[in-house]
Amino acid sequence: MTTETARNESESLPTHENKTALMYVIAIVLGVLCGALHVWLEDPLLTPLAVLASTMIMGIARPFRPWRWIIFVGLPVPIVTGIAVASGFVKVWDRALMAGAILAILVGCAGSIGGAVFRRFFDNVFFHKK
């Protein structure tokens, strides 16, 4: 009976959700790169675009529980910005720099959920088992 419950639990997980630790590492690296982009270029439109693209790619790659890509890609942006301000890399600190970093998380919401919806729609239309 324990083998049946173990088998049922393993069957409930999607088969493409296997290597999630690697995906978490990729998401964190993408988030740090988006944060570095925000600090180096200080472009108010390029950072949210990079976060949107990164979370959308992660949402397409792993559509189940898309909120995790908001956390792992969006949250490093203000953290990297705060570290750059604290270490003195950014010479002039203003509130707009941190506000832009925090608001990039909201764009990540649209990206990850949009990517997950796109993947589920694509799977439903083209790979629907009848």
* pLDDT at position 14: 57
At a CB cut-off of 8 Å and minimum separation 6, what does 125 contact?
Answer: none
Range scoring the smallest mean pLDDT among 4-18, 62-76, 115-129: 4-18
Provide the token pair at 68: 């995790």
How sure is the predictor about 4, in pLDDT bands with cuts at 50, 70 and 90? low
Which residue has better confidence, 93 or 8? Answer: 93
* pLDDT at position 10: 47
- pLDDT over 70 percentage in the chain: 85
| C-alpha–C-alpha distance, residues 56 and 21, integer Å | 18
| C-alpha–C-alpha distance, residues 18 and 100, integer Å | 34
| Domain positions in the chain | 19-126
- Summarised one tens digit per residue, pLDDT across range 53-95 is 999 999 999 999 999 999 999 999 999 999 999 998 988 878 8
